[in-house]
Amino acid sequence: MLGTFRGGIHPYYGKEFSKDCLIETMPAPQTVYIPLLQHAGKPCEPIVQVGDEVVRGQTIGKPVGNGAPIFASICGTVVAIESRPTATGRCQHIIINGNGKNDSIRLQPLDNPTPQEIDDRIAECGIVGMGGAGFPTASKLKPGGGIQRLIINGAECEPYITCDYRIMLEYTEKFIDGVRLMMRSCGANEGIIGVEDNKSDVIADLLAYVKEKNFTDIKVIGVATKYPQGSDKQLIYATTGLKIPKGVRSSSYGIAVNNVHTALDVYLAVKEGQPCYSRVMTVTGGGIANPKNLWVSSGTLYKDIIEYCGGINQNNPPVKIVNGGPMMGKTVMNEDCSCTKTTSCLLFLTKDQCSTATPTACISCASCAGVCPMHLMPMYIEECTLAGDYDGAEKYGANYCLECGCCAYVCPAHRQLVHSIRKAKSQLKAREKRNG
Ligand code: SF4
Ligand code: SF4
């Protein structure tokens, strides 16, 4: 029987829009707007000035604390350093006007690197969790950190998104080699790739490749197609049977979980010396003329991507654009935002693909609690939040919420449960900060 977890939902997956779109490379735009915050943590400090000439792959942002460096994604001149909107707020951007040159800075490829050399290269190339979390990968894979198992999230359970699916199919060798480099870095003696069983072609390809190469330390495990199967604790349980308690890090159990694109980037950094200045993203949904999977230069404006994909679908225009998937993504307020290391998807939802229902009173049906993968009681967290009782929200486990959206998805009263829980979490965080 396929591994899975308790709770979760089966939303409309919408993968058909882009799953057969081979990865293509979008030509670099004339101008890129590179955000200095592309990872969890503080924004980078710019180390270039207006008027400087830069080359693709050159470091232009230096990390502050536990961050990751940021690189020029095209060759050209820095024309401005200014605050601009992002998908989640605002931050400083370095704006580069291209000069049409196609040069790039590459580091020396490493043939047989030590664990420390791999980890140093991952840090130097600015690799972060490409699934959206943006946590600097080097700190997760430090040698001697007690990691015994590396789990790769190949579930790609978020509806519509297919970039990881395409990477596993089209870059099988580089992806698996990236997984092996990550294992060597952190000292894991077992690698597990968890893939939802709706990607049977990927499972077959990966199994055939690891068998052909006799990589006996790598397991490819099919897991049930269910959202949010790719969430860390849920994937760990589905692939190993281990239950990691709420509030406990998987590293305490000797496990590190990473993303498919991150593994590919580790390969590119170590074996090809390529810093992280571009990524594969899915552009999809009924509201875009030509859905695609694309290599996109960091700092490319959403509106340039829309234009490259043939513009919006005039016969069925989008009513909502989302950065990420429909369950956990953020609504795009401004097409002048630019993509980052963690932009896995731009989703163009049409009227028929969006819920516009008005919330009504909770009917205490407990459906939300039944699907919560963290076994929380979302209705009580919301009730406390609406009453301003953040102690109560904390008591009901608001801080353990994944913000997966399963509860809101099944709520017959269309309660905005995730919105309330996010509010409780941010209030609790602010209070913790105030109290030192
Ligand atoms: S309470 Fe949080 S973790 Fe539970 S279903 Fe809702 S969003 Fe997901
Ligand atoms: S699913 Fe909606 S209506 Fe039912 S208990 Fe939860 S919040 Fe209330």
CA of 7 to the centre of ligand 2 (A): 15
Residue 377 to residue 407: CA distance in whole angstroms:
9
Does 362 sit in the ligand 1 pocket, CB within 6 Å? no
Residue 89 — pLDDT band, cuts 50, 70, 90? confident
- What pLDDT, on a 0 to 100 scale, did the predictor assign at position 143? 95
Residue 304 to residue 320: CA distance in whole angstroms:
17
User: At what angle are helices 172-186 and 260-271 packed, to 10 degrees?
Assistant: 80
CA of 398 to the centre of ligand 2 (A): 16
CA of 370 to the centre of ligand 1 (A): 10
* Chain-centroid distance, C-alpha 60: 23
Q: Which residues contact 143 (CB under 8 A, 6 or more apart)?
A: 115, 116, 119, 185, 186, 187
Q: Which amino acid is at 201?
A: D
Does 327 sit in the ligand 1 pocket, CB within 6 Å? no
- Any idea which ligand is nearest the CA of 406? 1
Q: Which SS3 state, helix, strand or coil, does residue 165 take?
A: helix
Length of the chain: 436
Residue 258 to residue 153: CA distance in whole angstroms:
6
Q: Report which of 94, 93, 64, 61 is spatially closest to residue 76, judged by C-alpha positions.
A: 94
Q: Which SS3 state, helix, strand or coil, does residue 127 take?
A: coil
- The β-bridge partners of 70 are 61
Token pair of 13, please?
């997956």
Residue 55 to residue 343: CA distance in whole angstroms:
23
- Any idea which ligand is nearest the CA of 420? 1
Does 379 sit in the ligand 2 pocket, CB within 6 Å? yes
**0.75 surpassed by pTM:** yes
Q: Which residues contact 423 (CB under 8 A, 6 or more apart)?
A: 385
Token pair of 343, please?
């932009």
Q: Atom 5 (ligand 1): residue with closest C-alpha?
A: 372
Does 402 sit in the ligand 2 pocket, CB within 6 Å? no
Q: Atom 8 (ligand 1): residue with closest C-alpha?
A: 404
Q: Atom 3 (ligand 2): residue with closest C-alpha?
A: 362
Residue 57 — pLDDT band, cuts 50, 70, 90? very high
Q: Atom 1 (ligand 1): residue with closest C-alpha?
A: 378
**pLDDT of 197 strictly over 70:** yes
- Any idea which ligand is nearest the CA of 363? 2
Does 337 sit in the ligand 1 pocket, CB within 6 Å? no
Element spanning 242, H or E: none
Does 26 sit in the ligand 1 pocket, CB within 6 Å? no
- What pLDDT, on a 0 to 100 scale, did the predictor assign at position 1? 67
Residue 424 to residue 422: CA distance in whole angstroms:
5
CA of 376 to the centre of ligand 2 (A): 12
Does 417 sit in the ligand 1 pocket, CB within 6 Å? yes
Q: Which domains does the chain have, with CATH numbers?
A: 1-27+105-354 (3.40.50.11540), 367-434 (no CATH)
- What pLDDT, on a 0 to 100 scale, did the predictor assign at position 306? 97
Does 221 sit in the ligand 1 pocket, CB within 6 Å? no
pLDDT tens profile 374-427: 999 999 999 999 999 999 999 999 999 999 999 999 999 999 999 999 999 999
Q: Atom 4 (ligand 2): residue with closest C-alpha?
A: 365
pLDDT tens profile 216-248: 999 999 999 999 999 999 999 999 999 999 999
CA of 406 to the centre of ligand 1 (A): 6
Residue 250 to residue 304: CA distance in whole angstroms:
39
Mean pLDDT for the chain overall: 95
pLDDT tens profile 259-308: 999 999 999 999 999 999 999 999 999 999 999 999 999 999 999 999 99
- Any idea which ligand is nearest the CA of 372? 1
Measured from the Cβ of residue 354, the count of other Cβ atoms closer than 10 Å reads 14
